[in-house]
Chains A and B, each alone.
Chain A
Amino acid sequence: MSTGKHRLKFEKRVTFAGWQAALISGLAIAFALALFSLIFILARINPLTAYQKMLAYAFTNRYGLPLTINRFIFLLLCTYAFIIPFRAGLWNIGMTGQFYMGALSTFAVVFAFGGKASRHADLSPELVIPLMLLAAAVGGAAFGAIAGFLRGRFNVNEIVVTMMLNSIASWLVAQMIKEGGPFMNPGGRSESFELPYAVYPPLIQEIPFTIFLALGITALLSFVLARTRIGYQIRAYGHSPQAAQYAGVSPFKIPFLVFLLGGALAGLAAYHYFAAVPGVYKISRNYGYFGDLAFYGIICGLISLGDPVAAIPVALLFGGLSIGGRFIQGELHMNFGVDYALLGVLMISLVAFQFFFRYKIVWIKTGESAHVGIHH
């Protein structure tokens, strides 16, 4: 592109600072919102009003904010389920399945303690709640480990394996909670039995305690990746498996470990949503909606470039927009899924803007007319 004596050129970036990534992501979000306002305009709704209502409900409303935070915790755990393998260069597309297996394991503990019989069953919270958490992590980890094992031992593509395992887990949940299934709700309704009151975990200002778990994992994960030997091995393997092997990193141990850990976190996300969020306390009928939402862990992980701390604002934004989008859909009588549509546009915009992670635009003075040059 040329304008008189100047021309526009894309130049490959040599260095790239964290604040630049944040700036570019901010611009991408602004661009997506601007683009999406066209849809509001077509629906004869003032976009500013729509966004104002959406954000107000998601981030300031006393009913909306707790919903946003619950979703944020859920998304953050799913994001870490993606990020850990991602830092080892592997793709976990199976957080959905690991999430389902975490849910089943959690409820299996309660089932084993006879908690299905009555909501007033006398279970010891000090014993059962930690066991439920542990089971959620182990269930997710075991399911993730299948992909990690196959990858490490036989070099089987982890994307294919995790995707297929998603379907298996989804059917397994359906089988367990259907009418006549072991976890069925006494009232039918295609959902699981409800947890006994005794194992409702503590709430802090209406927020589940799992938020501390999630934020603790943020700190731990950042530390492990940046400062520890195992974190070094994971990153080395992620950048170059060949070079890592030269340096003595086990090509079996790393894939196995990262999928084990990733799966465990997806499993914990299931504990959070089905056993800690107030008002749920069961594997709800719309469990598939959360299974789909778990995939947003991939998007959040990619946008935050695998950085556990950067994942916090991203997961919070996605959580808030999905809650706020669903809210204004009802409020403004819109006849399509605003939450999914908006997340979709946001995702495309963020991915497109990643171009600027690698290139920058420069203006060059030229004497003569010139042409656009893109250097690779």
Chain B
Amino acid sequence: MGEGILEGIKRGQTVLEARGITKRFPGVVANDRIDLEIKAGEIHAVLGENGAGKTTLMNILFGLLQPDEGEIYVGGQKVSFRSPLDAISLGIGMVHQHRKLVAAHTVLENIILGHPQAGKILNRKKAEKEIGELCEKYGFHLDLGARVWQLSEGEKQAVEILKTLYRGARVLILDEPTSALTPLETEKLLASIEAMARDELAMIPFITHKLPVVLAVSDRVTVLRRGRVTARLETKQATEASLAREMVGREVIFRIEKVQVEAGEPVLQVENLSARNDKGVLAVDGVSFVIRAGEILGLAGVSGNGQQELAEVLAGLRKAERGKVILDGKEITHASLLDRWQAGIGYIPAERIDVGSIADFSLVENVAMNFYFDDEYARYGIMDYQKIRRLTEEIIAEYNVITPGPEVKAKNLSGGNLQKLILGRVLARKPRLLIANLPTQGLDVGATEFVQNKLMEARKEKAAILLISEDLDEILSLSDWVAPIYEGRLMGLFPGDQASREEVGTLMAGLDKKGQES
């Protein structure tokens, strides 16, 4: 193959070009005459909602899929990829969202695994030195001897990037690069991406959400909608609102309208609550707060600071080590999960695919997850699937879940539609207390807006809501009260209209108000 087509290519020259790419799947045109041109040294974001055809395009550029029509050019030469190996050998690398690393192997072993020279003449010492240089150059801080399972998401991603670089990639396709990262890791990654672009590498991040990230680093943006390119522009000319409009096809309101709701009785009272995580370490440490009817309390924090454990304790999935949980004046600290649901708690788990739904169950059976225990839906132990089906149809209609019908399996829904179904199912119980754990994570702009509006509606109907999010903007725009959490402790409690981004941001990073470690 044309080894080295991309060698010696200069900044600004076209490295990768797709012309008229069309790919059809049964029933849909996933890519419809897509043109894309990538230049050396540029950061070229590809933007689109779930289902816009990003994944298909990405897979075609990396050789995982073959287009039905259209051509691909690398460094001006027409190529056809039979498999990713062809793409890799021409200098195209892919950083997967779902990491493809061997967890039990070291960082170094993972990086050289699959390298054409591995097992032949690749010298481990030499490799270590070269990889060390790459780390230095692009700002990755990694222990090459560490095992991959010990790494954080950000570090694993760095390993994937290094792996492609070490195989000589000049064009990097990045699939949702920031979706699993903490704010700090995101900043580091963006710095690395800019450093690589300065070295004439072309970076192609594919992104569904986190528009500010796109605006911060990219040079150009191509926006996809329903398989077509709807905009191709210089980032300088774009705004968050204009990009969102191109993606969704209509105006998107970023500021959610917040009506005045008179707070009612306390619904949830948490007193001095502590709990351990799966490893037995104290994860929730003496937390106390109150949420009243019609109020949203936003728990702001970087993931892994006890939010998950707190949500599980409140939902009844985890034992409290100490303290009290009171719902509507009644203590429920030791109540079972089903008793809590029946007493009016609704829980939207963060892991919507693994915990919140069952992929091989139909939508009807998925809706049954929060209803099968009610006598109304299962008399004498026999399920009333007719009734659950009617409820499912109502949820599909009201929450605008896009699906061929209620008997479709959940695994065929996109992330946004699945989340709408889960939200609709939980809200159909009219919960007194709603625990929403990362309700908009990974959703595209349109679905995010929808979910947020539904939360505001529930608030209007006097539900008490505990909103857990890593997205500070979401917390600030929705919450009546904002509580930063760090290492299992609440770092303060601010009325929503008085909380400042900077202050909450510092507190959730574990620093005190002067920015020093507390």
Contacts and interface: CB of A to CB of B under 8 A. Distances in A.
27 contacts: A227-B383, A227-B385, A229-B372, A229-B378, A230-B381, A232-B368, A232-B378, A235-B361, A236-B358, A236-B365, A236-B369, A239-B359, A240-B354, A240-B355, A240-B358, A240-B359, A242-B351, A243-B358, A246-B315, A246-B349, A246-B369, A247-B369, A248-B337, A248-B338, A248-B373, A373-B66, A373-B82
Interface string A215-235: 000000000000111101101
Nearest to B361: A239
B356 interface: yes
A8 to B, nearest CB: 15
B372 A247 contact: yes
Nearest to A237: B358
Contacts, number: 66
Scoring A228, A229, A230, A243 by chain B CB atoms within 10 A of each residue's CB, the highest score goes to A243
Contacts of A246: 315, 317, 347, 349, 355-356, 369
Interface string A159-192: 0000000000000000000000000000000000
B436 to A, nearest CB: 14
A338 to B, nearest CB: 39
B481 interface: no
Contacts of B372: 229, 232-233, 247
Interface of A: 14, 227-230, 232-233, 235-236, 239-240, 242-248, 371, 373, 375
B370 interface: yes
Interface of B: 26, 65-66, 82, 315, 317, 336-338, 341, 347, 349, 351, 354-361, 365, 368-370, 372-373, 378, 381-383, 385, 412
Given A248-B337, A248-B338, A229 B382 contact: yes
A239 B381 contact: no
A232 B355 contact: no
Name A's interface SS. Answer: helix
Contacts of B360: 239
Contact of B355 (A227, A235, A242, A248): A242
A228 B381 contact: yes
B383 A239 contact: no
B383 A229 contact: yes
B354 A243 contact: yes
Nearest to B347: A246
Contacts of A242: 351, 354-355
A245 B317 CA distance: 8
A112 B427 CA distance: 60
The 8 closest A-B pairs by CB, nearest first: A247-B369, A248-B338, A229-B378, A239-B358, A229-B381, A248-B337, A246-B355, A243-B358
A307 to B, nearest CB: 14
Contacts of B382: 227-229
B464 to A, nearest CB: 20
A278 to B, nearest CB: 39
B377 to A, nearest CB: 9
Contacts of B378: 228-229, 232
Contacts of A375: 65
Contacts of A373: 66, 82
A371 B370 contact: no
B435 to A, nearest CB: 12
Contacts of A235: 361, 365
A229 B381 CA distance: 5
Contacts of B412: 14
A236 B347 contact: no
A375 B358 CA distance: 24
